Chain A
């Protein structure tokens, strides 16, 4: 080929670089396809396929022998427990995320105000809850909530307060699972906000100070607008993770007392795996999908906007 171009007159010499380029492009895309093939296979085989398989499973009867259409869905709509699960999932996700965002925001601000030398040490300690696997740290909380040996109740008795049935009554159990989730997730918000705070240019604060802005005004008109995007991405992401939470509820209460702390994942696990009604379990976990899809679309929009801003 190269010999051909050398010996041939002008016209083919103009064409051949194009054709070699085209061939290079073709080769490039072949290589690229081969390089991404494992990823594509993994996503298709173990994410996309299971998802559609779940849709199929949701239309079967308990023995998985017969197609029953929407019956699993209508069955769930008629059950009070299911609506309790919906309510508890929303309550759990929203209140935990609001608290995590608030605590994370406060901590990030406080850390940001510290001199750089001390910051590292404090940050290191504040991130510990988020580093310990939640399935492991929830065991420690479980023991702290133990009905007869609760170390919290011991401390409360010391100051003259009656012992609290942490996991014993619906109200307290709901509070406890949210508390543990907040404990686990706040550091994540803190570290995201801290990174965002560090990226706000100092000149903006100086300009605000010259204009006579108070601390609150600086927060309201400088910090918030600069961090808005990262706050919304973090909140949406955390909503997904919290809404789909499994380990904390499963270990602490296993849905009890009286199914009052069940979220979608634990309820699906109980129905699908433990009671063996796989189609119904699949149906329950599919209910998470519409809500998660909405969150995901908003995250994607935020991410794209941010990419455009940075480009």
Chain B
């Protein structure tokens, strides 16, 4: 009786496992096909960008060739960007603005996050919520009054106006994720520091920053990405080529009336995309941690 019961329960399980395995294999094949389709879709524009950037203008204009491949690769577009025109100035401007924005952002948001995560003071929770709400305000809502304000300050068409405005896009989110990182540091650590007679700033500098370094790195990467990619403020406030950053400079300099220098546009765009891509390639985990923490932790 017990033996038959055992066999009768045993066989279906085995059959089910076999079918599970087969099901799994088909699922895997399907998964790889789906992935391949999407990788092709996602990589198509950057790939085409690379191909176009390697072509001479003659080859681009030739309609009989295959637009997806390059027959006579040349670095002439890159060379011309480097030697003539304002491309290097735009690149330098982007670096200046981004470096300043990241530095300002990190100082403001580290200090504020430390206070908001550790010191309960009047209005601290309201302020934390307010910071989150500010993060949800898109810059497209504020660029017109900002245009007037920047004009009033005499900073219209000035690179430094960007340094003043960009922190509004980066500080709220960076503060928000750093509150999360700082709050996860065990309280025992600050108690130990207090007993050893550390002041607040010492505690921040010697304990919080080293312990929360991954979070700080993630916030820095976020600030870098946002200010490198910023578009609406530069296009609204910067009009002369020597003040422009990369995102607007490429289009405004390489399109003259109806002549589109596509080879150079693509070469310039590719080089402009390189810094974020490199940061991403080397620090992918921090990059992803920073962005997902914003929504999962808070």
Contact = CB atoms under 8 A, between A and B. Distances in A.
Interface stretch (B3-11, B77-85, B144-152, B185-193): B144-152
Interface stretch (A15-23, A31-39, A74-82, A94-102): A31-39
Interface residues of B, number: 93
B247 A136 contact: yes
Interface string A43-83: 10011011101100100000000000000000000000000
B115 A144 contact: no
A40 B127 contact: yes
B161 to A, nearest CB: 11
A187 interface: yes
Nearest to A287: B141
A143 B46 contact: no
Contacts of B284: 124, 127
B280 interface: yes
A114 B145 CA distance: 49
A127 B280 contact: yes
B91 interface: no
B143 A139 contact: no
A196 interface: yes
A132 B144 contact: no
B172 A133 contact: no
A170 to B, nearest CB: 23
A33 B122 CA distance: 9
A31 B269 contact: no
B209 to A, nearest CB: 14
A114 B24 CA distance: 11
B142 A54 contact: yes
A126 interface: yes
B56 interface: no
B167 to A, nearest CB: 6
Nearest to B127: A36
B74 interface: no
A39 B201 CA distance: 17
A271 B176 CA distance: 34
B214 to A, nearest CB: 15
B175 to A, nearest CB: 6
B121 A303 contact: no
Contacts of B175: 39
Interface string A244-272: 11110011000000000000110011001
Q: Is the interface of B mostly helix, strand, loop or mixed?
A: helix
A148 interface: yes
B119 A32 contact: yes
Interface in A154-183: 154-155, 183
B298 interface: yes
Contacts of B43: 125, 128
A281 B148 CA distance: 12
A113 interface: yes
Query: Which of A134, A155, A272 has the most B CB atoms < 10 Å from its CB?
Result: A272
B148 A39 contact: no
B285 to A, nearest CB: 9
Interface residues of A, number: 96
B207 to A, nearest CB: 15
Nearest to A280: B144
Contacts of A35: 111-112, 114-115, 119, 200
Interface string A191-203: 1100110010000
A288 interface: yes
Contacts of B296: 192, 195-196, 199, 230, 306
B45 A135 contact: no
B115 A273 contact: no
B251 A132 contact: no
A268 B236 CA distance: 11
A237 interface: yes
Interface in A109-150: 110-111, 113-114, 122, 124-129, 131-137, 139-141, 143-144, 146, 148-150
A88 interface: no
Contacts of A237: 136, 295
Contacts of B35: 107, 110-111, 114, 122, 126
A123 B234 CA distance: 32
B205 interface: no
A36 B277 contact: no
A289 interface: yes
Interface in A205-251: 230, 233-234, 237, 240-241, 244-247, 250-251
A133 B34 contact: no
B28 interface: yes
A307 B111 CA distance: 23
Contact of A39 (B112, B236, B280): B112
A42 B173 CA distance: 13
A269 B141 contact: no
B65 to A, nearest CB: 9
Given A28-B119, A122-B35, A133-B229, A113 B67 contact: no
Interface of A: 28-29, 31-33, 35-36, 38-40, 42-43, 46-47, 49-51, 53-54, 57, 103, 106-107, 110-111, 113-114, 122, 124-129, 131-137, 139-141, 143-144, 146, 148-151, 154-155, 183, 186-188, 191-192, 195-196, 199, 230, 233-234, 237, 240-241, 244-247, 250-251, 264-265, 268-269, 272-273, 278, 281-282, 285-286, 288-289, 292, 295-296, 299-300, 303, 306-307, 310
Given A124-B284, A296-B136, 10 more contacts: A46-B167, A49-B149, A107-B38, A113-B28, A144-B44, A149-B67, A183-B41, A272-B144, A300-B129, A303-B298
